[in-house]
Structure 1
Amino acid sequence: MNVVKKIWSWASTLAIAFVVASVVGIFIVQPYQVDGHSMDPTLHDSERVYVSKLPHTFSYLPEYGDIVIIDSRVDRNRGLKDDVLENPLIQLFRNTTDHVFYIKRVVGKPGDILEFKNHHVYRNGEEVNEPYVKEMMFFESDKKWIVPADHIFVMGDNRNNSEDSRDIGYIPLDHVLGKKIIP
């Protein structure tokens, strides 16, 4: 009987630790690993960053220049089920290799008018000062991009090597999974 109590004690302790770690990862803070070079020179391939999940949990609108983790599947709705299943602890048991999470910088917020001309980004008619950009951007467009309500526009710092809102479209706020906090 004493052995059963010890096993139960260990099992319940591990279960509680798993639940607490899952809740922290889903709602508070979560590690991510940079995959690719779209954020060079700010972040590098395979670099580990920690992300505050509080903006996602409480639906905060990120600020210009914030580095955010997004779900690139903008054509589908997200829910709590997604947040739970995408938690790293749950992923250990799921064996999935989806690369749907991107790390990008916020360039436009709802109502902003973005233009790409003279190798620069213009927001609401003013050139955006972007000292973090890797090199001169080759992308130009005659189109004016108007960010819809409850969406943001994101780009990588390596503008010539980034799949971002120019390709996948505007990012719904519920697809902004967190904001980079460390390093």
Structure 2
Amino acid sequence: MLYKIGGKRGRDRPQAKDPVIQALLKFLFKLMTILLLLMLVFKFVFGIYRVNDTAMVPNVNPGDLIFYYRLDKKYFVGDTVIYNFKGQTKLARIVALPGDKVDVDEHGLKVNGSRQYEPKIFKETQAFKDGVSFPLQLGTDEVFVLADNRDKAADSRLFGALKRSQISGKIFNLIRSRGI
């Protein structure tokens, strides 16, 4: 671009952008990129859920914040999982894996004919009158879940085994609410 000699400087010369505005725009772009990445990570890899029922009391209380991992599909007995049932999000502990035979009788929980030792459970495990019939043989893509607060929770004793596709993820962290 040619400049006139002797012309007015302000009109003929291109104006430089304000460095403060440039820095602000760069910062906003970086912030929006980070927020977008976090949203994608928490949509597809991790999840957050605030507990609103008493199904897992005393181990998980209402108001606690749960972080779960969506990609790990290898489940083991004792894993606490988050799952969807009839449009509701719930927590429970896996007590039996695919191919296992589950029985709940007047003495409690049996898996493959063996009584289960559950040190974190403080209430008796009993079958529901309107629930599934026992013994129950699990399919190749099913797990049996029980909540910790056995007399107040709706779990596999009521609706049967869960398909793996119903499980949203495995819980890896818990933050206590402390009455917040």
Q: TM-score, normalised by structure 2?
A: 0.74
Do the aligned residues in 2 keep the contact of 1:34 with 1:45 (CA within 8 Å)? yes
Matching of residue 144 in structure 1 with residue 135 in structure 2: yes
Residue correspondences, number: 154
1:62 maps to 75
**After superposition, what is the alpha-carbon deviation per residue over 1:63-121, rounded to whole angstroms, capped at 9, x for unaligned?**
00110011114xxxxxxxxxxxxxxxxxxxxxxxxx61111000111111100012411
1:81 maps to none
Whole-angstrom CA distance in 2 between matches of 1:5 and 1:100: 47
- Structure 2 residues without counterparts, runs of 5 or longer: 1-16, 175-180
1:105 maps to 93
Whole-angstrom CA distance in 2 between matches of 1:45 and 1:119: 29
Instruction: Return the match for 1:163 from 154, 167, 175.
Output: 154
Q: TM-score, normalised by structure 1?
A: 0.73
Matching of residue 29 in structure 1 with residue 20 in structure 2: no
Do the aligned residues in 1 keep the contact of 2:92 with 2:147 (CA within 8 Å)? yes
Aligned-partner residue type, residue 23 of structure 1: L
**After superposition, what is the alpha-carbon deviation per residue over 1:143-173, rounded to whole angstroms, capped at 9, x for unaligned?**
2111111121111011111111122332121
**Alpha-carbon shift at residue 8 of structure 1 (Å):** 4.8
Do the aligned residues in 2 keep the contact of 1:61 with 1:173 (CA within 8 Å)? no
Over aligned residue pairs, what C-alpha RMSD do you find? 2.3
Structure with the largest fraction of helix: 1
- Which one has more relative contact order, counting CA pairs under 8 Å at least 6 apart? 1
1:130 maps to 118
Whole-angstrom CA distance in 2 between matches of 1:165 and 1:4: 58
- Structure 1 residues without counterparts, runs of 5 or longer: 74-98
Q: Which protein shows a greater Rg? A: 2
Do the aligned residues in 1 keep the contact of 2:127 with 2:157 (CA within 8 Å)? no
Greater displacement, 3-12 / 147-156: 3-12
Identity of aligned residues (%): 23
* CA separation of 1:119 and 1:38: change in aligned 2, threshold 3 A: farther
Whole-angstrom CA distance in 1 between matches of 2:36 and 2:162: 30
Greater displacement, 143-152 / 7-16: 7-16
Matching of residue 153 in structure 1 with residue 170 in structure 2: no
